[in-house]
Amino acid sequence: MEQWVNSYASYVLVLSGAAAMFVIGRKKRFGWLWFIFNEFMWTAYALITKQYGFILGAILYGIVGVKSYLHWSKKGINKIHL
């Protein structure tokens, strides 16, 4: 499994993050949930591959994602539908 993670997981995670951003652009709530889940997966990737710098990135992206979701969900003009 570690070989698969080293070879392919980063590509899967990048594509997953890009897809989540696409869904967020369509103002779908599950896009935000997907985005946050993806950051947890980056954390797991960092731990498995011992590339601990990705943990900081995942935390920062997660904070920005949560704050952005809260900002969007409070604006009436930006209603996010599930």
pLDDT (tens digit, 9 = 90+) per residue, 40-75? 999 999 999 999 999 999 999 999 988 888 888 776
Phi, psi for residue 50 in degrees, rounded to 5? 60, 35
Domain encompassing residue 57 = 2-78
The pLDDT, as a whole number, for residue 78 is 53
Gap between the terminal Cα atoms of the chain: 35
* Residue 36 pLDDT: 92
Q: Measured between alpha carbons, how far is residue 56 from residues 1, 52, 60, 73 in Å?
A: 24, 8, 6, 26
- Mean pLDDT for all residues in the chain: 86
What separation in angstroms does the CA of 55 have from each of 32, 41, 79?
19, 10, 31
Q: How many domains does the chain have?
A: 1
